[in-house]
A and B are shown apart, each in its own frame.
Chain A
Amino acid sequence: MRIIAGYLIGIVFGVGIAISGMANPAKVLNFFDIAGTWDPSLIFVMGGAVVVTFVGYKLVFGRSAPLLEEKFHLSTLRDMDSKLIGGSAVFGIGWGISGFCPGGALPALGTGRWEVFLFTAALIVGIFLARFLQSARKSSAA
């Protein structure tokens, strides 16, 4: 049941990303290029997604638990630490260079374009690199 639900929800997300333009680096980079070939389309993606999710979450959180799980899995972190801000800044730099974010790239794999596979491979290497750095730091601090 959870697998079927996950697959169908993934399709809805993937279709949304595909038609929104988030899977297209040229469009993403143009959104951020106000001084050049500006394309404001992506403000509609973000706006539509946040408003629908805001209302949807209000309804869902009226329940005591999800339909197929015992509880909601939500982050309980509250601190504005340097990891959150530094990591987000680094992500912004990478997004500005490549035009792909993870949510845009994963569905874009379905187009079969080699550029998306190249980006995703580098993304995965980057995730492992960060984990390695984090665990190296933890063990040297201990």
Chain B
Amino acid sequence: METAFTPWASLSGGVLIGVASTLLMLFLGRIMGATGILAGLLQPKSADDFAWRAAILAGMVSGPLVVWVVSGQMPAVQVPISPFMLVIGGLIVGVGVTYGGGCTSGHGVCGMARLSPRSIVATITFMLFTFATVYVVRHIIGVS
């Protein structure tokens, strides 16, 4: 499935992700990592800890709705794979981010931005494995 090249929309989105990451550190002193926020929500340390995490998640979920209200269009979610692959992928992502201690937002954006050696290694590792996996799935197994 082809998708259009959208440098400006993607850059604007990236800038907003950076603004959100900066503001979360400024106000709450936390890393804007989806894995960390979700994991803490599933096993909160206290009611207070649960509350700010739930608030961020609620805000995240509101994001596409804000885009919809402002632009009149719901952001595109095109899923070119089967539900079975989606479940397998989700399970694998859940295991990987738990052992790896973060994902694209925590390691890839926040960790890289503070030049954390662990995050740089994590990001290079998962990017390489994602490239390799997509190559194998689409061009060797031939699912696309």
Contact = CB atoms under 8 A, between A and B. Distances in A.
Interface residues of B, number: 113
Contacts of A111: 64, 74-75, 77
Contacts of A120: 90
Nearest to B51: A3
A19 B122 contact: no
Interface in B108-127: 108-110, 112-114, 116-118, 121-123, 125-127
Contact of B90 (A75, A122, A128): A122
Given A45-B13, A102-B38, A130-B98, A94 B105 contact: no
A121 B90 contact: yes
Contacts of A126: 90-96, 98
A88 B100 contact: yes
Chain A, interface SS category: helix
Interface string B68-111: 00000011111111010111111111111111110111011110
Interface of A: 2-27, 29-30, 32-37, 39-42, 44-57, 59-61, 63, 65-69, 71-75, 77-80, 83-111, 113, 115-116, 118-131, 133-134
24 contacts: A2-B55, A9-B23, A11-B60, A14-B63, A14-B64, A19-B9, A27-B76, A32-B131, A34-B131, A54-B113, A66-B28, A67-B27, A72-B25, A73-B31, A83-B99, A94-B89, A98-B88, A99-B80, A100-B86, A107-B64, A115-B79, A122-B89, A122-B94, A130-B98
Listed from nearest, the 5 A-B pairs whose CB atoms lie closest are A14-B63, A126-B94, A10-B59, A20-B13, A52-B18
